[in-house]
Amino acid sequence: MDSKTVATILTDFRAGRLSLDDALEKFRDLPYEDLDYAKIDHHRMLRQGFPEVVFAQGKTTAQVAAIVERLARVNGNVIASRATPEMYETVRTLVPDAEYHELARMIVVRREEIAIDSERVILVMTAGTSDIPVAEEAALTAEIMGNKVTRVFDVGVAGIHRLLAQRHTIDQANVLIVVAGMEGALASVVGGMVAKPVIAVPTSVGYGANFGGIAALLAMLNSCAAGVAVVNIDNGFGAGRLASIINKMR
């Protein structure tokens, strides 16, 4: 299936000219676009409500640019995570309206604003200042996918009063993302305070026996608070995506 056909079907689907069933039918045989070095999963938008996200790390700049360009052609919004400024420079030549969020290391194409339910807030918290880049990756991901996000940074447990001062904000959140390196204890404390889902993101922040994030990862997995689940070390994107899925359930 060549790119043009793929584009036509998807565009028609987004425009409502094709029903989901009809779109799926058309894609029965080959529901992705084949660039040889990448199979672009346009089908994902039908299946999961948001197009494939480009994990840029490990890809060449040319590959990232080409994939973003293809996705942008047929989807409203595109994300490339772990992208370097160099990658962005190349992407911009192909997709002029792409933006770069340096802190979160993300390239974003945002053409279609997704309706946001401002009653349902995703709260992104960090234990320290150094955890902010990962937290921003999570927050930005959730925002682009159509969620209201509140940020509370640097409330690690060694100054428990700083955390308790956020009690009200915590209680208001619908889904919580807790980002912490070092000993990762914040997830357990927050997990015990709420009856909402807590997504814990260990970070590689720290030194010595933190072993690149293992200390925080293990702490979060062993959390004595129920209601906490964990994603990969530094995986802000995954946390943001999952939080968005949960936040939109009804």
Q: Which of residues 141-200 bind a copy of itself (CB under 8 A)?
A: 151, 153-162, 164-165, 174, 182-185, 188-189, 191-197, 199
State which residue, 72 or 126, has the beta carbon closest to a copy of itself.
126
Residue number, 97 or 102, with CB nearest to a copy of itself: 102
Q: Which of residues 213-232 bind a copy of itself (CB under 8 A)?
A: 213-232
Closest CA to 73 of 148, 123, 149, 8: 8
Measured from the Cβ of residue 2, the count of other Cβ atoms closer than 10 Å reads 9
Distance CA 195, CA 50 (A): 28
Minimum CB separation of residue 180 from a copy of itself in Å reads 9
Distance between CA atoms of residues 22 and 242, nearest Å = 28
Q: DSSP letters of 181-205?
A: -TT-THHHHHHHH-SS-EEEEE---
Cβ 174 to a copy of itself shortest distance, Å: 7
Single residue of 19, 93, 129, 172 touching a copy of itself by CB under 8 A: 129
Across 73-111, b (16+ Cβ under 10 Å) vs e yields bbbebbbbbbbeeebbebbbeebeebebbeebbbbbbee
Minimum distance from residue 22 beta carbon to a copy of itself (Å): 17
**Which segment (47-55, 69-77, 85-93, 106-114) binds a copy of itself by CB under 8 A?**
47-55
The amino acid occupying position 115 is A
Instruction: Name the one range near a copy of itself by CB under 8 A: 14-22, 23-31, 90-98, 106-114.
Output: 23-31
What's the distance, CA 54 to chain centroid?
A: 11
Stretch in the footprint of a copy of itself (CB under 8 A) among 14-22, 37-45, 69-77, 107-115 = 37-45
